[in-house]
Structure 1
Amino acid sequence: MTVDTYMSSKAWPFEQARLILKRLDIEKRRGIDRGDKPVVFETGYGPSGLPHIGTFGEVVRTTMVRNAFIALTEGKIATRLICVSDDLDGMRKVPSTVPNPESLESYLQKPLTDVPDPFGTHDSYGAHMNARLRAFLDSFGFEYEFMSATEIYRSGGYDKYLLRALEKFDDIMAVMLPTLGEERRATYSPFLPISPSTGRVLYVPMKSVDAKAGTITFDDENGSEVTLPVTGGHVKLQWKPDFGMRWAALGVDFEMFGKDHQDNAPIYSRICKILGGEAPVQYVYELFLDEKGEKISKSKGNGISVEDWLAYAPQESLSLFNFAKPRAAKKLYFDVIPKTVDEYFQHLAAFSNQDEKAQANNPVWHIHNGNPPSAVPPVTFALLLNLVSAANASDRDILWGFIERYAPEANPKDNPALDQLADFAVRYYQDFVKPNKAYRAPDAQEKSALEDLAGRLRTVPDAEKTDGEALQTLIFAVGKDHEFENLRNWFKAIYEVCLGQSQGPRFGSFVAIYGPDETAELIEKALSGVSE
């Protein structure tokens, strides 16, 4: 593909990549010499709990923008993706899921990297969670650089900007105080000292700040007055100033964050500028909702985890769900999985026949970094689910008996994606479809039409037994002959009476793979009141 194609693409990763390029041009016009400094993409992670679907979404989306930027610049500008763990934050509460949670109660408010690891595998709780994050990201093949806030603070990596924050203390307070309530305003400080007596992260007012000496003075928990240097990890910044400081210190050029950060984004940007940095290109995405339209919360447990999704669908479908309309609120619950899986393969099937412009807008370009696979399963996930239902299949081997009859060239060895889908379909059906099946008896018109359909299916010529279009035409004809005013109601009746669900894929395609004779038998069993 040509750079011109990427420059005109309406896909949101390319739109963001062009904004980054515009940012570089503005810097150049201002006389800012970046030298060989790479373009920095950043994501942040709070290691108080396990990585979750939001963590995946932020990294996969940022990776898509990074890949779009590399394509746009033909790889001539170096890039970095940094994942920063805020592991110097104090532990606010002990997760109930850790072993012996009561043993950590005495470590509340201490930096996560100073809390013992209850799992006994790492030097600290923070180190354990960081390892879980890295293993999580590595399992998806993300290319990134991990950074620990504790290591950066304590190694002096932020010292220059902490000293500058001390010099600009009044300017930072002028940004922060109007955003706070009256009570908090009276005690607020952008600096959080780490108590030399207890090791806890302290939210205390400053008695004095000395920019020349590089120190702050405050009352410690034991009542003694303490003076500490702001360098070397003796203090950390409150999270909003820390956000802006990190942008300045790491030279971040792009960061995306959820809508819950949107109101604070101007604060991050102003503090970044106060500290001598240029705020990055920022992209705000909407948060996921549950099936009731409520915000997904880890504490409520009303969402889907990455592990949940990947138990029923391939990783690419989860990437597609994150790619599609990130600025629109989307419901994230188990019912969206089959639809998303089939949409992924529809995009994949279309890719090879599209022109360059359409390919650059196709989600699979961004999911596979411009090089999507060519193999597309001959059977949809929705069809497989219906096949499992009709055949009462307990494993994918049963499904393959039908698949190979419908598509003789297909086999598990040469079609691993389809083999995986068959396995997913069995699992999804057992857990979500089967428990919710609700068969109903047909009315007189439906019963007559279904009896007619079963009879006609018994006489389908061999040449048309796997022809989905011909079979769909036959089913339409039966509905018309029995004078259904709305043929959608005819197909709905077929599904509700024969499969115990209100909708599904094209029934002609289902008959083609399940078999006309087998479908006739399914209908006859349903009419006689025998349903699985």
Structure 2
Amino acid sequence: MTGERDLALQAKAWPFEEARKLVARFAKTPPAKGYVLFETGYGPSGLPHLGTFGEVARTSMVRRAFQSMSDIPTKLFCFSDDMDGLRKVPDNIPNKELIAANIGKPLTQVPDPFGTHDSFGAHNNARLRAFLDSFGFEYEFQSSTDWYKSGRFDAALLGVLRHYDAVMDVMLPTLGAERQATYSPFLPVSPSTGRVLQVPMLERNPDAGTVVFQDEDGKKVELPVTGGHVKLQWKPDWGMRWFGLGVDYEMYGKDLIPSAELAGKICRILGGTPPEGFNYELFLDDKGQKISKSKGNGLTMEEWLAYAPQESLALYMFQKPKSAKRLYFDVIPRAVDEYLTFVDKVHGEEPARKLENPAWHIHGGQPPVVRSDVSFNLLLNLAGAANAETTEVMWGFIRRYAPDATPENSPFLDSLIGYAVRYYQDHVKPTKRFRAPTDAERAALDALLVTLDKLPADAKADVIQNEVFEVGKAHGFTELRAWFQALYEVLLGQTTGPRMGSFIQLYGVAETKALIREKLAV
């Protein structure tokens, strides 16, 4: 155990670098609450999305890295800001009239348009938990409504009231003149309408723990800031939450750096220490533009998981979180194959190298043995050559390539085959553009037919690859890249492709000869 801990303390992978911040934080004194608290936040007015997955996955990686360095217990809170007032009617729900009548109310007081839960907030919280559970994340769900109404935030809220002027000094410089005139960190819940109000405070009574404001019916109302009678604006709420929960680590997108700085100042005003932080870059589309939900110019998590396993998405989240990365369909096959490479290598690596391998972090320090036999890109090319519409067609070729592999003993490979067929049909097949061979290419393809005729049906990939090389060289392709590109464009209808030796072994020598004859006949 000591040896593993020493290796973890020296490891260079970014989750270990982050975890060492927490080791240093508690080097002298362990946390008074008895555990190190990691937090991720969630706004439950919408459904969980790719960013939700990325934040929880990355935070879990740091948590696991810390656990390999320290005996201090840890917790991960997934915190739902479900007391927030509903600002607009979502586009993707039924019974919109029901929701429209409840705009402004806390999400946990808005009726559930789906009719399955006590409130819209409870419905979306259930979706969040089901989402996180489907990926096997270890976490504790926390509800803002529960913390406010149970009184567990009371001491922190009274602290905001006592330090009202200091909090305002932090917030007001970030606001425009018009907003400054009415701003208050406290959002009272109207006794008459139940809505969360953005109104100025007429009076503050720290000794009584109350605020006074004008309600929507025009009456002057005094409410306690405790017990769920008020909600904080989200930036002060973030800092108050850090203080009230004792959060030790939280990550956030680059766009939230200014907000996190404000939250940190408010946490200190209340007498707390802000958590260790990590800001990650945002995603770009295939043109390098920032992804926008309203523009619909990005790849959704549902789309990714329709065409590739979740491990590939976790790898994408692990790699270079501080760099802006393009997120579109073409990155999926490479992410799958990189995952297969990492998870295959990890079991033969020495202990120090294992800690640098993404598979260690993706699988919480316990990477499984995964049988794939064939790369995802090769499966895509096989699907294309065979024009596969079902996994059964693909397994017909796979069994010849790996006779002992079956869907039952190779479930991961079976799932990859399903993903490959779906990806090929939806995203490769529509873009295929075959061309006729030039005279020089036709002569080389004729020669390749002769060469393949001489090969045994069970020829191995390396032997086949060497023969393909020799044909290209013998027919004047001084740049062998041009020869292989010709094979891809003429035979497969694409500009890039697989290692031909591996492809021919998988697809079959006889089948490849038939494919060449078909294209030569055009």
The TM-score, its normalising length taken from structure 1, stands at 0.96
Gaps of 5+ in 1: none
The 8 Å contact of residues 283 and 324 in structure 2, kept in 1 or not, is answered as yes
SS in 2 for 1:456: helix
The 8 Å contact of residues 455 and 520 in structure 1, kept in 2 or not, is answered as no
1:500 paired with 2:493, answer yes
Task: State the match for 2:6 in structure 1.
Answer: 4
Equivalent residue in structure 2 for 1:24, among 23, 26, 29 = 26
Q: CA deviation at 1:376?
A: 2.9
Task: State the match for 2:274 in structure 1.
Answer: 279
Q: 2: distance between equivalents of 1:307 and 1:393?
A: 23
Q: 2: distance between equivalents of 1:328 and 1:19?
A: 21
The 8 Å contact of residues 454 and 521 in structure 1, kept in 2 or not, is answered as no
Gaps of 5+ in 2: none
- 1:361-376 equivalence runs, <5 A: 361-376=356-371
Of the structure 1 ranges 214-223 and 111-120, higher mean CA displacement relative to structure 2 is found in 214-223
- 1:364-513 equivalence runs, <5 A: 364-462=359-457, 465-513=458-506
SS in 1 for 2:445: helix
Q: 1: distance between equivalents of 2:348 and 2:134?
A: 32
Q: 1: distance between equivalents of 2:133 and 2:293?
A: 22
Q: CA deviation at 1:240?
A: 0.5
The 8 Å contact of residues 466 and 513 in structure 1, kept in 2 or not, is answered as no
Task: State the match for 1:38 in structure 2.
Answer: 35
SS in 2 for 1:519: helix
Q: CA deviation at 1:132?
A: 0.6
1:111 paired with 2:106, answer yes
Task: State the match for 2:46 in structure 1.
Answer: 49
Q: 2: distance between equivalents of 1:193 and 1:93?
A: 19
Q: 2: distance between equivalents of 1:373 and 1:452?
A: 45
Of the structure 1 ranges 398-407 and 60-69, higher mean CA displacement relative to structure 2 is found in 398-407
Equivalent residue in structure 1 for 2:237, among 236, 242, 245 = 242
Offset from partner CA, 1:464-507 (integer Å, 9 cap, x none) = x4411111111111111111232111111101111111112211
Task: State the match for 1:79 in structure 2.
Answer: 74
The letter for the 2-side match of 1:111 is: P
Offset from partner CA, 1:338-394 (integer Å, 9 cap, x none) = 111110000011112211121100000011111111233111111111111111222
Equivalent residue in structure 2 for 1:123, among 98, 102, 118 = 118
SS in 1 for 2:338: helix
Task: State the match for 1:326 in structure 2.
Answer: 321
Task: State the match for 1:66 in structure 2.
Answer: 63
Q: What root-mean-square deviation, in Å, do the aligned CA atoms of Structure 1 and Structure 2 show? A: 1.3
Q: 1: distance between equivalents of 2:279 and 2:498?
A: 35
The letter for the 2-side match of 1:22 is: A
Task: State the match for 2:16 in structure 1.
Answer: 14
SS in 2 for 1:72: coil
Offset from partner CA, 1:397-433 (integer Å, 9 cap, x none) = 1111111111222222211111111111111111111
SS in 2 for 1:107: coil
Equivalent residue in structure 1 for 2:189, among 194, 197, 211 = 194
The 8 Å contact of residues 194 and 202 in structure 1, kept in 2 or not, is answered as yes
Q: 1: distance between equivalents of 2:363 and 2:248?
A: 23
| Residues 110/466 of structure 1: CA separation in 2 closer, same or farther (3 Å cut) | farther
- Runs (4 or more) in structure 1 with deviation over 4 Å come to none
Task: State the match for 1:140 in structure 2.
Answer: 135
1:514 paired with 2:507, answer yes
Q: 2: distance between equivalents of 1:425 and 1:348?
A: 19
Q: 1: distance between equivalents of 2:355 and 2:31?
A: 29
The letter for the 2-side match of 1:139 is: S
The letter for the 2-side match of 1:191 is: F
The TM-score, its normalising length taken from structure 2, stands at 0.97
Of the structure 1 ranges 272-281 and 482-491, higher mean CA displacement relative to structure 2 is found in 482-491
Q: 2: distance between equivalents of 1:333 and 1:232?
A: 46
- 1:171-250 equivalence runs, <5 A: 171-250=166-245
Give the % identical residues: 57
Q: CA deviation at 1:298?
A: 2.6
Q: 2: distance between equivalents of 1:503 and 1:72?
A: 44
Q: CA deviation at 1:213?
A: 1.1
SS in 2 for 1:361: coil
Q: CA deviation at 1:36?
A: 5.6
Q: 2: distance between equivalents of 1:210 and 1:38?
A: 35
The 8 Å contact of residues 98 and 111 in structure 2, kept in 1 or not, is answered as no
